Structure 1
Amino acid sequence: MDNAAFEMHEDGTHNTSSMGKMNTSSRMEKKRQWSLMSVFLVCLLACTVTTAVGVLILSLVYVYNSQPHSQVHLGLEARPLQTTVPIVQKAVDPKFQFLNHLPKSKVFEFPGGAIQWARYRNNVKDYLSVEEEAFGSSLNSQRSQMTLGTLRIKSSGLRAPHWHFNANEHGYLVQGTAWIGVVDDGGAVTTYNVTAGQVIFFPKNTLHWIKNVGNEDCFFLLFFSTHDELQTLDVDDVFFSVPEDIASRSLKPEGGINFIRTFQKQKEDQGVNLPPNLAELVINPSYVQSPDSLVWRYFYDLKGSKEYRFPGGVIQLAQYWKNASELSNHEKIFSEFLNQHQNALTLSTLRIYNNGLRQPHFHFNANEMGYVISGCAKVGIINTQGTIEFDVHIGDVVFFPTGTQHYIKSSCDEDLLFLLAFSTGDQLQTLDMDDYLQATADHILAQLFFKKQSEFKKIPKFKEDQAINLP
């Protein structure tokens, strides 16, 4: 049965449902559009923030780099910019590559004397100053094969028997009288006496001792053929490091190990020894001298050797000589023995009269180290950086690398006396300024200096060597 009312209601319901679906779809579309807009706005905001932060960072970096770092500090955390006091390391004068004020260095005190050093140290904290460090570093970087020490021994004092692992030792006695002992392979001992002006030589790993047998202090200048830190071992340190049973079996003393146990290690280092009760311990000591054939291997009478005289001073040498015809038998023994050892040194005294000049010169085959014994001088060094000039006085140490031209001018009323060491066991090779200019052809000098060739005839050639000259 037809029901018009029902048909009208069904149609209305259908229309209403269709309209509802349309409204829902419209709302979903609007939400979708809003979500995309939100994402876009968020991304835009993130980009803006990122750009701003980037610009800020670049600005800060620019500010930081445009100002001295010692004045501006930018921490990781937010802090106001603060001006701080800059930490400035003391600039080291270049002259301290070549100069050491040894009297200002640390004094190593012992019961029987003292030692001071001009040397390289493995630990930079062992230097007393940046100047001392500059000198030590220069010795090491130039591979100088040189270390200098001063040794003062009180009357009756003893430099304990010892040896050096990594260096030959060359000594010059400035003052006093000493008795030396050297122990060779197999226990053969050589003993001899030295006085002021004489030289001693101890090869690497050779046990030796030095005893002051005079009434005044002994003062030695000691050169060692190493640019590394010197390695030394004293006999008493060895003895107390050896286990008691090993020492007893080795020495086989009366009383055995009980005798070994009677030895007491002193609290104070006995490197330079002088017991307060020495008179009770030692009675009638003997300071004998071994045969000359043994002594002259380790000993050289520098003050009694040939003097090379110049107008302005005198040079004497304790070195190896290729031509030994002018040497005495004793000097030949020393010369040959010196040359047998690797990294041996040459020692020399240089005396310059008042206002005298050791003219500019250099050495082909050796570094040079010197100690001022008396007088004062002006020293000049000429290298690729230019000329460095400085004054030296008693106790100062100088260093001249191989091939570095240098000069020394006496500047006191008294004579200047240097003790010099050279890092060669061969005959020293030296060239003076006047010699190399005289040896160069005039036309070469004229072209070099833009002067007429005839001008160089004004430089005279003397019959007498002018290595040390006077005005």
Structure 2
Amino acid sequence: MDNTGYELHEETPQTSRAQTERIKQECPVEKKSHWSMLNVFLICLLASTITTVLGVLIVSLVCANKTGFQPQSNNEGTAQKRDTDPQKTPRISPYKPQVDPKFQFLHHLTKSKRHEFPGGTIQWARFRKNAKEYQNEEEMEFGRSINSQRSKMMFGTLNIKSKGLRAPHWHFNANEHGYLLKGTVWIGVVDAGGNTVTTYNVTAGQVIFFPRNTLHWIKNVGAEDCMFLLFFTTHEELQTLDVDDTFFLTPEDIAARSLKPQGGVDFIRSFQKQAEDQAVNLPPNLAELVQKPSYEQSADNLVWRYFFDLKGSTEFRFPGGIIQWARYVQDGKNLKPNEVTYSEFLHSKEDTLTLGTLRIYSNGLRQPHFHFNANEMGYVISGCGKVGVIASPALTTDFTIGVGDVVFFPVGTQHYIKSTCDEDLFFILAFSTGNQLQTLDMDDYFHATADHILAQLFLKKQDEFKKIPRFKEDQAINLP
């Protein structure tokens, strides 16, 4: 038979019983050894397969960690794939960055990108749709914060060189409120239909207002640079059109038929588009181009709609500082005639802002408070301080601030500001309401709550709350 294993168990006449028994004893050992080797081979093969799979998984996880891969939307994934050159732009991860939560409320504007033009510079604290346009993750955190809160606010600084011009332009999606920090400027505003052109001069400490879709320009007429602190009523990307851009984007024959100049289309073709963006314009041959400039002032009743003398307005004094307002006041109570005009015009527009300056004396405190009806955004003009924010029990932070910093406090968020330098801490503030601002301070809500309610809440004897004094003078900004 061909089966040798079977043959080994078959007795034959030539084989003795002793030999048969010896063979039976030896053959099973040989068979066991054969199957053990097979088992060892299979086990080794299985172990090798498992080890290989685990190795591939570990290598994949390590590579994913190094490349910053995270689950993301299709749009974000597409944006990340396009970012193949780290030399062109800072690499910003498309998912929510793990950064200090304080940057939801703080933006170091002095570290942001300077947009350079022939006649000046612009810097922004704003939301950008393209994450690659942020300089770093902290800046992106601030931009996303003001956008997610639907704040209707953004901020920028505009520096214009002497004789420089912020080109005539308008904004599709925002009103503009500005505070002139330094310099002297001449402003023009063109109403709908072009029938009324309002021009006026502005000096440091005064406020300007441009409603959405109102064409306006700003000309520096002083010997030094001027600096504007600007607030816009949008948390999306600002949409702006400059007059030179619209001109060059209009077909030549359409422009000629509209303007009807001498020379027709040939005159239109004589205009040359500059290679450099002229948003803030200052030609090197300006003296040849302009011979007799005039900076006229329109009638007061026109000017007061777009202009407010904040530095000359009423000072609201507290033990620890001063507040001044450019805002709407119902029935114009305690306002000067020019302030009434501004107040009513402001209130007639949608999504306008309340502006104010806040001066906190050294070691003074703008006590913890919150606003019912407005987000707040501010820019530090001078001094330094400490800010505390309570957005929720899980989101509480405090941080230091200095010149050039922008702060943001969402509506209903309790916050305080303390001056920590030898000099006063001075802010320009904007609030996202064209109505009267509604605010509640900590001492006010403690006094307004019954002692027995406070006792039950804080597990403290009711009489203990008599130790919290009431002052005749408002302690909104106090001193120790």
TM over 0.5: yes
TM-score with structure 2 setting the length: 0.82
Contact 2:92/2:137, CA 8 A, preserved across alignment: no
Residue 479 (structure 2) pairs with residue 470 (structure 1): yes
Tell me, what secondary structure is at the counterpart of 1:279? helix
Tell me, what secondary structure is at the counterpart of 1:197? coil
Q: What is the rounded CA distance, in whole Å, between the counterparts of 1:131 and 1:56 in structure 2? A: 47
Q: What is the rounded CA distance, in whole Å, between the counterparts of 2:184 and 2:285 in structure 1? A: 22
Q: What is the rounded CA distance, in whole Å, between the counterparts of 1:314 and 1:55 in structure 2? A: 77
Identity score, percent: 70
Residue 451 (structure 2) pairs with residue 442 (structure 1): yes
Letter in 2 for 1:233: L
Q: Is the radius of gyration larger for structure 1 or structure 2?
A: 1
Q: What is the rounded CA distance, in whole Å, between the counterparts of 2:416 and 2:64 in structure 1? A: 47
Q: Which runs of 5+ in 1 are unaligned?
A: 1-47, 74-86
Letter in 2 for 1:254: Q
Q: What is the rounded CA distance, in whole Å, between the counterparts of 1:271 and 1:413 in structure 2? A: 39
Matches within 5 A, 1:55-94: 69-70=61-62, 91-94=98-101
Residue 308 (structure 2) pairs with residue 300 (structure 1): yes
Q: What is the rounded CA distance, in whole Å, between the counterparts of 2:218 and 2:333 in structure 1? A: 33
Q: Deviations over 1:103-154 (max 9, x none)?
A: 0000001111000000000110000101110010101111111110100001
Letter in 1 for 2:119: G
Quote the residue 1:184 is aligned against: 191
Q: Deviations over 1:196-235 (max 9, x none)?
A: 0100000000000000011111100000000001011100
Contact 1:64/1:72, CA 8 A, preserved across alignment: no
Residue 382 (structure 2) pairs with residue 392 (structure 1): no
Contact 2:92/2:132, CA 8 A, preserved across alignment: no
Q: What is the rounded CA distance, in whole Å, between the counterparts of 2:92 and 2:144 in structure 1? A: 21
Residue 228 (structure 2) pairs with residue 220 (structure 1): yes
Q: Deviations over 1:136-184 (max 9, x none)?
A: 0101111111110100001100000000011000000000000000000
- Residue 59 of structure 1: CA displacement? 7.1
Q: Pick closer, same or farther for the CA change 1:437–1:242 going to 2, 3 Å.
A: same
Contact 1:158/1:272, CA 8 A, preserved across alignment: yes
Quote the residue 1:169 is aligned against: 176
Q: 2:277 aligns with which of 260, 264, 269?
A: 269
- Residue 284 of structure 1: CA displacement? 1.9
Residue 164 (structure 2) pairs with residue 157 (structure 1): yes
Contact 1:324/1:332, CA 8 A, preserved across alignment: yes
Q: 1:207 aligns with which of 209, 212, 215?
A: 215
- Residue 67 of structure 1: CA displacement? 11
Q: What is the rounded CA distance, in whole Å, between the counterparts of 1:99 and 1:92 in structure 2? A: 12
Q: What is the rounded CA distance, in whole Å, between the counterparts of 1:57 and 1:183 in structure 2? A: 77
Quote the residue 1:414 is aligned against: 423
Quote the residue 1:124 is aligned against: 131
Q: 1:143 aligns with which of 150, 153, 159?
A: 150
Matches within 5 A, 1:234-253: 234-253=242-261
Q: Pick closer, same or farther for the CA change 1:51–1:322 going to 2, 3 Å.
A: farther
Q: Pick closer, same or farther for the CA change 1:56–1:173 going to 2, 3 Å.
A: same
- Residue 258 of structure 1: CA displacement? 1.1
Contact 1:151/1:221, CA 8 A, preserved across alignment: yes
Q: Pick closer, same or farther for the CA change 1:66–1:215 going to 2, 3 Å.
A: closer
Q: Deviations over 1:68-108 (max 9, x none)?
A: 933899xxxxxxxxxxxxx9987411111111000000000
Letter in 1 for 2:172: F
- CA-atom RMSD in angstroms: 2.8
Q: Which runs of 5+ in 2 are unaligned?
A: 1-39, 66-90
Q: What is the rounded CA distance, in whole Å, between the counterparts of 1:167 and 1:373 in structure 2? A: 24
Q: Pick closer, same or farther for the CA change 1:62–1:333 going to 2, 3 Å.
A: same
Q: Deviations over 1:226-261 (max 9, x none)?
A: 000101110000111111111111001111111111
- Residue 374 of structure 1: CA displacement? 0.4
Contact 2:92/2:136, CA 8 A, preserved across alignment: no
